Structure 1
Amino acid sequence: MAHSCSHFYSHQGILLKDHLKDVGELCARYVRNCVNEEKLIETARLIGKTHDFAKYTEFFQRHLHGEKVKGGLSTHSRLSALSSSWIVNRRLSDLFLSSAAFLCVDSHHGSLESFSKLHEIARFLDEPLIIHHQIKSIKKNLQAIKEELEELDLEDLLDFLNEPEKCINEIKDILSDSDPLLWDEESRWRNYYIVLLLYSSLVDADRKDAGKVYEVISIGRKYKDLSADLVKSYRKERFKGLCGPLVKLREEIFSLSEKNLEDIMNVPLLPKILTITAPTGSGKTILSFFTALRIREALSVNGERPRIIYSLPFINIIEQTYSVFNDILSSHFKNVTIDLLLKHHHLAFPEGKFQGEDVPLDKMLLLSDAWDSEVIVTTFEQLVRSIIGSRGTLLRKFHNLANSVIILDEVQAIPLEYWGLIQEILNKLTALFNVRIIMMTATRPIIFQGEFEVIPRHEEFFRKLDRFVIISHLDKEITPENVADFFFSNWDGKSSVLIVMNTIGASKIVYNRISNKYGEKAVRLGSINEKDGINGSSNLILAYLSTNIIPKERKRRINLIRELLREGKKVILVSTQVVEAGVDLDFDIAFRDVGPLDSIIQVAGRCNRNGRHTDKARIHVFRVVDSKGYPEAEKIYGKILPDITINIFKRRPIVKEQDILDVINNYYKKILNSCNVTSEYLNYIRNLAYNNLSNFSLIREEHKVSIFIEIDDEAARILERFRETLDNFASAEMHNLFKYKAELRKLRVHLEEYIVNSWPNQRVTSLNYITPETGIYYVPKSVLSAYYDGETGLLQDEKDYSGGYIW
């Protein structure tokens, strides 16, 4: 290829000047939607217009056409970052925004670097020969580039090209003076979020424009008329003809809350943080959606139509909430498209139309991963890592959090050590970006306080209920075998039973002991495909649940158990914590190994849930140790939380439902007195140390390996398609890469339905991988019985459970 270029491209088939213009305008649009500050909006526009400036080099153009270019000369982020920082300083004379521009552009193809890295970069800016060679290359085509820069309103950059040494020295001084330690506390937080906003807007705009998303859909949101009356209509239809004490309680709570919300909507300033505190089964999910829609209606008077982001602690309970919202919206919208309602987490894949259009997979992912929808149902993990972190793939949806209503369901499930951190980031988010937060729980931690409680006199509703009683047996330690014996002596032979253990190892011991006792008298849920496989109402049904079972089978079992319980069948379910939060099951009696008090209350919420029985459900709590005498609870929760729970039960061995609120408030006070709930991550945020936040996660990291279980023909077909697509991806031409990448992600979601995780051991690591690239071990159907049990899942040696193989 000749050194002289007449046309410059950013990507295959996309003119560079068009890409820079479009990304600049998109960045400005995104930031304008978040803040009304012209200086920030203009910074975003300049960042977008210059983020690929170095693609004007002959080296990049040759690289784009498939030529090999040596020595890193085709790279473009560093020189583009210099041009971006320089022009922001030239136009706006703002040292912080100039530094932020450099950081965002320099990081836009990877992860966001820490502000402290700018000092290190500044020291060596005048040394790399690559930058000088790249500037010389651009100047070879200066006349053609000059015309494009003028068209982009970037003619200032001609000065940068003509006097590069002087301009780079100016940038060195700017970067060297960028020190968060010199800022006051308010500026630190604001600047942390401003960098996130600029970076998020750039990464999202760049990817969407490069992916040609706006060739198939229109730019900007198509606002939907989402009235709170949709919820009222749904409730009227859904609960028509139902009666009972809990139905009456739900109606009373909703009616009082509706009146309370009308009062608060009439005040000049809507509260930023609201809480919904009510007992389990009292309709909090529907009430929270109604509340969010009322806020949206109230703000629409001022032209605002906030997104509604509903976040939950666990992936396995998202489907239920998503289904409720889909039913509510379906009553008004003929097609609930993805731009209206999105289910988003790392194991979900968007399927359906967007703005009424069939959108290719790769483009649909660019839209869904940015949360370009009116209502999003997602996880705490996805939400929080959009605010705390450094990965562009997660942070790029940050700009869509602005002006939103965020619902946090089961907020107490956030790990204790992060309570202070999460409270702080949410408070700052509401202050800076006009976000509203709705926190809802049956056991609200006192650290998560709001400005306004949606349910008036909510304490009274706890005292009106009398569905269960928690009975402590914590005076002595017992083994998993003793738990089964305790169950035998306390079961009336008629009731449905839930037994929750803290570890997979303990749960399997209990299940197998019960299974051996009843032998052929019981039907085992893993061995039947449908409810019709259970004959006769007198049958005893044994079921097992934990993450030792593949996800596809877990879902099937939960749905089947729900049906059987509604029909009054005698179901005995042995489970780990997977059954605790958000799983709508209703048992007569429960047994649980000790743990955090809120977890025990979650189990209680799975008993006599709808108040069908006049007799209170009994929840028996005991303290289980393994064969070496080590407490099972401490393997999962550490020592502090179980100990606080045990001490509370020592003084109060029987807890009725009416007493729950008082007991849980006492529990959280003791936690705050016993624990330091601040976090080192707060210091990283204050110092804009984004790189130090890269590994942040609400989920405790466990060094487990993934194992694909080829349990049926469908699993085999999915694996075959995955392997074929991976081969196609490896040999694909550049213009097809995104298509195959999207297809791989879709297939990976299907693969996950057959994957369990295990601590590595010789038995597992001797298996082959499904493909070398994935690192996922493979149990083919031909050897299935040697590795996987149809009832309790993955087969493990006893020693593999000793470390607390959980959930």
Structure 2
Amino acid sequence: MNYMGHSPSRERNDGVWQSLKAHVEGVTTLLRQHARFFNHPNADLDAQWLGFMHDLGKYRLEFQRHRLQWEPMTGKEDRTLAVKPCPHSDAGAKALYVALGGQRQHSGELAFAVANHHGALRDIGALTGRLDSTTEAEVDDLLEAACQDIPAFDALFQTPPQLTGLTGAARTLYTRMLLGALVDADRLDTEEHGSPSRAQARKDAHAAQGSMAQLLAKLTGHQVNLAALDAANPKPINALRRDMYTQALGKADLPPGFFRLTMPTGGGKTLTSLGFALRHAAHHAATDENPGMRRVIYGVPFTTIIEQTAQEFRGVLGDINVLEHHSNLEFKERLETDAPQAPDPLRLATENWDAPVIVTTTVQLFQETLFGNRTAQLRKLHNVAGSVIVLDEAQSLPTHRLTPILEALRELVAHYHVSVVFCTATQPALDDFPSQQSAVELIDEPAHYFRELQRVDYELSRVNDPVSAAALGAELRQDVNERVLCIVNTKKLAHEVYQSLGDAPHHFHLSTNMCPHHRREVLKVIRERLHNKQPCRVIATQLVEAGVDVDFPRVYRALGPLEAIVQAAGRCNREGKLQDEYGNHVRGLVTVFRPEEHKLPPGDYRVRTDLANKYLSEQSDLHAPGTFTPYFRELFLHVETDQKIRLDSGHHATVAQLQDEMDFETVARKFQMIEDNTVPVIVRQYAPEEINELLRRILNARESWQVRDEWRKLQRYTVQVLRRDIQTLDLHVVSELKARAERLGTEPPELYEWPTKYRYDPKFGLDTGGMDALVY
């Protein structure tokens, strides 16, 4: 008989079918390439079994006739047969279950991957249901047909699959890795047949992208140019930056593992960490003979700074080498075949992270990838193997999920050719966790550089003196420094302080109640005024603290977590250029104050703030990196690092317990990096013409990729609103747009539209009627 894997390509329009044999062999070859980076003894054998078994159900005559409209006995297309859904992944899962001796608890890795490669990872109970839907007698018949069609099947049965013996986090990560590798191999082989333009775009991108060594050479050239510019007008701060950069790269030849980059704000941490990662990956580069390292994944905690980081990297390494990917407006699944024209290769690389440098958020890296369960999420997971993961602002990793995050990182380092770099000025005490091996510090005596780069003084005497919003506004108006930044903990307080300050052309407000485009436009004006040394008073929430490049001579910071106060200080005299009236270099001033309405949410943020109050009252040295080790140790004693999840049954369980039970669905649904989840809201009132044009393009789109691209462009005009506030704000789903996307085979993300009855203020953004959620 002639069995087919896929019907003729719409793009080729040549009537040529892809045989099932060709598809199975193609997927198996790709899978074995992916599994090279899995440091497990049976990884190659597991890849072969997955490749051969993943479409075993397609040997059913019902599938050939009623799903593909193909008659295997005659070898001809038969359009007279009605198309109807026909399952095919359950058969391969059952075959693997039988091959592994019928032990459901121990056949999970392979059976889960095959059963769910067109869906999402469920729990062990769901797998049982899939296995029971196919009898062993039917499996025998399908295996007989497969062996007749593909002679290599017989050879494979000479080496049966082996039980891994893995448990807990190791087992669930290996299962996700196998599924992700299978999904990507299946999609790539299908794309080669059905959408050759997409396949060619990927090949062209590979040809244009640089190796780790080539990208390191680009960065080295950039650093040489910076040094030449500095030689013409030397600055002490640049010499210190070069010294730290050289030290970090000097340790790049060390074996893979965990590393710490402890650098003061303004020390050049971004390019230093990139330089170490590129050199480390180049030294341990993957070859055709041996797996090793092949990319850098740069994780940042906030979407507000990801574009800035990606832009900086692109400026040094080139656009084709840097992929920017984050979670806002993320699509749940993509079509196997898509546009009849070659799309942008970087957009394609978003599907499976096949690019040299990935700049992403920690939410995308952990919540959506390492702990996700949908195939679109997991498709990129196998490309995390063989990478250097740089975690910028490592202190921002959520305390309530720190234990499972560190366990996942430990597994990546131990079994997937990964190194991890924790970057921050305020290192959390991660070495204390039982799952962690000791991290190597990349900077010798970091305390020396913190002292040398001390560009601010802290005023801590007002920590216990509550100040009202009105008094604070009056003080900011009277401050002789007309360029001043005030950072508070809540949107509500930012609004109140700004109103007390008084509206003026040189007064600015920044919070996440403003859409990204609005914030960027305001920051552009702020930077211009700072550059020209014009009056500029800014009231902001924490969004300016990490990675936002502004430089004020005077900063006020509301009492908050210790590390947040230090981050705020990084916006003060950032370049060390501040001078008095006589031209002498002086330090900036950071005042820490207690708001009269010191309202904080319960949990991690409140505990951190209470601990900060204790350390500040003791006049702890915020310029000493050693201050933060006992601070974080106390924090980890007060906050659960694997916080229990409330289950639908009413019981509670930790992520570790759920992973022991192989409950992938619950982990994916409940693993939230930010405890109070948000949803994106389109704000049509901010830029009606631009937004209406984007919406029009979506409604008129003919291909799913066009819908996806326009949805992403809408992101700049959205605001993240807490899910709990949706009900009170009477928001409505953008039903027409969702319907259009679904008709094109693309499931859109959850999205809402800001009702016209609510204002969008040109200063404050959304008028939420007093919403006071903490900004993360």
Which category of TM-score, normalised to the shorter sequence, fits these structures? 0.7 to 0.9
| Closer, same or farther: CA 769–393 of 1 in aligned 2, 3 Å | closer
The correspondence for 2:717, drawn from 751, 754, 772, is 754
Write out per-residue CA displacement over residues 194-250 of structure 1, whole angstroms, 9 at most, x where no aligned residue. 322211111111122222354554499666242534323212213513433322321
Write out per-residue CA displacement over residues 406-429 of structure 1, whole angstroms, 9 at most, x where no aligned residue. 111110011122233322221221
Q: Which moved more, 1:555-564 or 1:437-446?
A: 555-564
- Counterparts of 1:429-468 in structure 2 under 5 Å? 429-448=412-431, 450-468=438-456
Q: Does 1:20 align with 2:15?
A: no
The correspondence for 2:676, drawn from 686, 697, 701, is 701
The correspondence for 2:262, drawn from 262, 277, 287, is 277
| Closer, same or farther: CA 363–606 of 1 in aligned 2, 3 Å | closer
Q: Does 1:507 align with 2:473?
A: no
Distance 1:375 1:200 in 2: 19
For residue 592 of structure 2, what is the aligned residue in structure 1?
Answer: 621
- Counterparts of 1:714-753 in structure 2 under 5 Å? 714-725=690-701, 728=702, 740-753=703-716
For residue 482 of structure 1, what is the aligned residue in structure 2?
Answer: 471
For residue 149 of structure 2, what is the aligned residue in structure 1?
Answer: 148
Q: Does 1:111 align with 2:117?
A: no
**Gapped regions of structure 1 (runs ≥ 5):** 160-169, 331-335, 351-357, 517-521, 524-540, 729-739
Distance 1:80 1:424 in 2: 31
TM superposition shift of 1:453: 1.2
Write out per-residue CA displacement over residues 632-667 of structure 1, whole angstroms, 9 at most, x where no aligned residue. 233685431111111112222xx6653x42432332
Task: Decide whether the 8 Å contact of 2:36 with 2:44 is kept in 1.
Answer: yes
**Gapped regions of structure 2 (runs ≥ 5):** 10-17, 70-78, 193-197, 332-339, 433-437, 579-584, 644-653, 740-747
For residue 560 of structure 1, what is the aligned residue in structure 2?
Answer: 525
TM superposition shift of 1:83: 2.8
Q: Does 1:327 align with 2:315?
A: yes
For residue 238 of structure 1, what is the aligned residue in structure 2?
Answer: 226
For residue 110 of structure 2, what is the aligned residue in structure 1?
Answer: 101
Write out per-residue CA displacement over residues 294-348 of structure 1, whole angstroms, 9 at most, x where no aligned residue. 2123224976443111111112212222222222224xxxxx42xx321122349
- Counterparts of 1:328-477 in structure 2 under 5 Å? 328-330=316-318, 336-337=319-320, 340-347=321-328, 360-361=342-343, 365-385=347-367, 386-448=369-431, 450-472=438-460, 473-477=462-466
Distance 1:359 1:313 in 2: 35
| Closer, same or farther: CA 23–84 of 1 in aligned 2, 3 Å | farther
| Closer, same or farther: CA 776–292 of 1 in aligned 2, 3 Å | closer
| Closer, same or farther: CA 98–291 of 1 in aligned 2, 3 Å | same
The correspondence for 2:172, drawn from 188, 192, 202, is 192
Q: Does 1:572 align with 2:537?
A: yes
For residue 207 of structure 1, what is the aligned residue in structure 2?
Answer: 187
Write out per-residue CA displacement over residues 735-775 of structure 1, whole angstroms, 9 at most, x where no aligned residue. xxxxx222211111111111123322555437976646576
| Secondary structure at 1:633 match in 2 | coil
Q: Does 1:41 align with 2:37?
A: no
TM superposition shift of 1:558: 2.0
| Closer, same or farther: CA 50–277 of 1 in aligned 2, 3 Å | same
Distance 1:378 1:623 in 2: 34
The correspondence for 1:32, drawn from 33, 36, 40, is 36
Distance 1:41 1:300 in 2: 20
| Secondary structure at 2:464 match in 1 | strand
Task: Decide whether the 8 Å contact of 2:293 with 2:388 is kept in 1.
Answer: no
For residue 245 of structure 2, what is the aligned residue in structure 1?
Answer: 254
TM superposition shift of 1:500: 1.2
Letter in 1 for 2:422: M
| Secondary structure at 2:426 match in 1 | coil
Distance 1:149 1:250 in 2: 60
TM superposition shift of 1:688: 3.3
Task: Decide whether the 8 Å contact of 1:245 with 1:611 is kept in 2.
Answer: no
Distance 1:634 1:762 in 2: 19
Q: Number of residue pairs matched?
A: 698
| Secondary structure at 2:67 match in 1 | helix
| Secondary structure at 2:600 match in 1 | helix
Distance 1:453 1:273 in 2: 9
| Closer, same or farther: CA 429–661 of 1 in aligned 2, 3 Å | same
Distance 2:215 2:682 in 1: 45
TM superposition shift of 1:359: 7.3
Write out per-residue CA displacement over residues 104-129 of structure 1, whole angstroms, 9 at most, x where no aligned residue. 1111112113346555666xx2xx4x
TM superposition shift of 1:146: 5.9
Task: Decide whether the 8 Å contact of 1:113 with 1:390 is kept in 2.
Answer: yes
For residue 167 of structure 1, what is the aligned residue in structure 2?
Answer: none
Percent identity between the two aligned chains: 24
Distance 1:577 1:46 in 2: 50
TM-score normalized by the length of structure 1: 0.78
For residue 534 of structure 1, what is the aligned residue in structure 2?
Answer: none
For residue 4 of structure 2, what is the aligned residue in structure 1?
Answer: 8
TM superposition shift of 1:573: 1.2
TM superposition shift of 1:549: 1.0
TM superposition shift of 1:89: 3.8
| Secondary structure at 2:683 match in 1 | strand
Task: Decide whether the 8 Å contact of 1:705 with 1:760 is kept in 2.
Answer: no
Letter in 1 for 2:5: Y
| Secondary structure at 2:386 match in 1 | coil
| Closer, same or farther: CA 288–441 of 1 in aligned 2, 3 Å | same
For residue 74 of structure 2, what is the aligned residue in structure 1?
Answer: none
| Secondary structure at 1:497 match in 2 | strand
For residue 295 of structure 2, what is the aligned residue in structure 1?
Answer: 307
| Closer, same or farther: CA 137–701 of 1 in aligned 2, 3 Å | farther
